[in-house]
Structure 1
Amino acid sequence: MKRGAGRSRSRSAARLAAVQALYQQEMEGTPLARLLDEFHRHRLGATIEDVEYTDAEVDFFDDVVRGAEARREEIDAAITKRLTSGWNLPRLDRPMRAILRAGTYELIARADVPTATIISEYVDVADAFYDKRETGFVNGLLDSVAKDVRV
């Protein structure tokens, strides 16, 4: 296996886990340190109900979760700016908010990751939860954010 393929899979797993962590944090209000610890000890690379989860790049997972939470106001403003008239962030369901927050965080703060990779990865995450219409929404919104925050 090529070195890049393993890293790509571990980053994909980190992104999915980050979305799950952000969702859980919003649902339960779990303090960030406890949430990260729970994911480190019980979820990342674990086997749950006979399903083995890919090892996630822990530092990358931590950065996305911590960064999305720390910069939530800025991220939410960037997302809200791109919603059509009559829509606001609370109107989106929690999994969609978590996907958009994680993707927007990466676009804003992770210049080391190519724009196309970020958008594609979060469209893939959305595809695990939603139908084509919603994945198209994720694609369009993150693309719009990218045009503003990346030169």
Structure 2
Amino acid sequence: MTATKKGNKPGIRRVGRTLAFQVLFGACFDDPKRPVSIETQFDVNPLVIEQESEAALDFARELVLGVTAHLAELDKTIEAHSQHWKIERIAVVERTILRLSLYEMQHTDIPVKAAINEAIELSKTFGDNKSRSFVNGILDGAAKRMDK
């Protein structure tokens, strides 16, 4: 018996999460004078178009729409745990990762520790050397408050 990672839930979720991050990150650079719906941005994203896994696409779409729907709440949580940093001062990569992870922590069935670990993996891939500890610190603080 050989087990393959292809098609398992964590693999699908990681791919979906990465796609969601990339769509949300790209949306941060849209021209406010020419708004495009997040659904359209998702549908026309080249990485989404190339993705063959329907399950990964469904998961990514759920995350993108969820983050977008809860953006104000997520940003408020980030600001509460970022030691007096305004949301606009946080780098786009970290801000996007934090929004995505907090959405997973607060609004999905994904365990909090798993959401934090996945956020750290995203920060290793897309952030700089300081991203991991910054993201971990804010998410850890948010997780502790959720426990109370």
Matches of 1:131 and 1:119 in 2, distance apart? 17
Match of 2:134 among 121, 132, 137: 137
Q: Which runs of 5+ in 2 are unaligned?
A: none
1:92 Cα shift?
1.0
Aligned to 1:50: none
1:4 Cα shift?
8.9
Letter matched to residue 15 of structure 1? R
Match of 2:41 among 23, 28, 35: 35
Aligned to 1:69: 68
Aligned to 1:49: none
Aligned to 2:15: 13
Question: 1:14-37: per-residue Cα shift (whole Å, max 9, x none)?
Answer: 111111111111211531121121
Aligned to 1:126: 123
Deviating beyond 6 angstroms after TM superposition, the runs of 4 or more aligned structure 1 residues are none
Identity of aligned residues (%): 26
TM normalised by structure 1 equals 0.82
Q: Which runs of 5+ in 1 are unaligned?
A: 47-52
User: Considering only aligned residues, what root-mean-square deviation do their CA atoms show, in Å?
Assistant: 2.2
Match of 1:97 among 85, 95, 98: 95
Matches of 1:24 and 1:99 in 2, distance apart? 12
Equivalenced residue count is 141
TM normalised by structure 2 equals 0.84
